[in-house]
Amino acid sequence: MSGFTATKRNMRARFMDRMATGLFWGIGLLILLLIFWLLYTIMHKGLPEITPKFLVDLPDEIEAGGGIGPMLFNSFYVLILSLIFSIPIGVGAGIYMAEYAPANKFTEGLRICVEALSSVPSIVFGMLGLAIFAEYFGIGLTIIGGSISLAFLNLPMLTRVTEEAIRAVPNDLRNASYALGSTRFQCIRTVVLPVAMNAIVTGVCLVAGRAFGESAVIILTAGLSTSGEMWDFSLFAPGETLAVHLWYVQSEAIVEDARQIADKSAAVLVFVVLLINMVFRIPLWFNNRKLKR
């Protein structure tokens, strides 16, 4: 009787396993179909109409045929500056929280604050940047203000991702490194960071894509205009980005081809975000090959 009961339980367990497997496969396929549908909807309207002239020309407020050159340049410029500001501080803070911070109430409170900041709406960071750079320092709406404000937006997420990635490294690897005579810094540099690098780079990729497509922070801290030059490296120039230009063209522009400009700008924005994800995957491939050797 007990053998029959065990067989029945095994059959029920196998049936539930097949049901769960089919359910998760279905959910995965549904998500993939939704993603491909969204990409197709955005890309097929604007991507075939994009020309090199559109990517490098100046925008036009009155006549049709304007381009997105300065906004596209500002998008990359602001993104690079924000990553320069946020990566060293965010990764360093994550390393401190995981490896050096004592296990006490202050550290737990600090961790809760970082997690809370990760969920704060971006408009709040935009208002903070506006108060600091435009009102307190009086430098107006500039690229430097938008870049640092974006860095503020990215720091909490980057810190948490780095901390969790480092905590996920097995302690056996650390103990083996210490047994060979390594100091804590040597252990972190040669053992912990290489193992955690995949997750850290993924976190950087996420904040980079978020920063490139951010609009609320840029509107409040970098403005709705450019200097009118294609390659303006001045940190104190207005810094309208592609995401902000897309919002402006879609909602307030009066040019007759505003809809076409919006479609093409959306396609470029999505394509660049996908390209950023691909570029950030290259270090992961090299790191995986290095770890396998």
- Look at residue 68 and tell me whether its pLDDT is greater than 60: yes
The single-letter code of the amino acid at 136 is: Y
Q: At what angle do helices 143-167 and 69-95 cross, to 10 degrees?
A: 40
Return the domain boundaries, the chain: 2-49, 53-292
Least confident span in 8-12, 68-72, 168-172, 217-221? 8-12
- Determine the number of helices (DSSP H) and then strands (DSSP E) in the chain: 12, 0
Average pLDDT over residues 175-190: 89
pLDDT at 85: 93
Indicate the pTM of the whole model: 0.87
pLDDT of residue 180: 87
How much is the pLDDT for 278? 84
Q: Please give the backbone phi and psi of residue 100, each rounded to the nearest 5 degrees, phi first.
A: -115, -30
What are the pLDDT digits (tens) for 245-268?
A: 888 888 877 788 888 888 889 999
Q: Is it the case that residue 47 has pLDDT exceeding 80?
A: yes
Class of domain 53-292: mainly alpha
Round to whole Å and give the CA distance between 257 and 29: 37
| Amino acid at position 163, single letter | E
- Rounded Cα–Cα distance for residues 189 and 71 (Å): 38
Check whether 1 has a pLDDT greater than 60. Answer: no
Give the per-residue pLDDT at 228.
81
Task: Pick 123 or 253 by higher pLDDT.
Answer: 123
Contact 142, 236 (CB under 8 A): yes
Q: Mutual orientation of helices 258-292 and 193-212 as an angle, nearest 10°?
A: 180
What whole-number percentage of the chain has pLDDT above 90? Answer: 33
CA 152, CA 50: separation in Å to the nearest integer?
A: 33
**Whether pLDDT at 101 is above 60:** yes
In this predicted structure, what is the pLDDT of residue 66? Answer: 82
Q: Is the confidence at residue 174, as pLDDT, over 80?
A: yes
pLDDT tens, position by position, 124-156 = 999 999 999 888 888 889 999 999 999 999 999
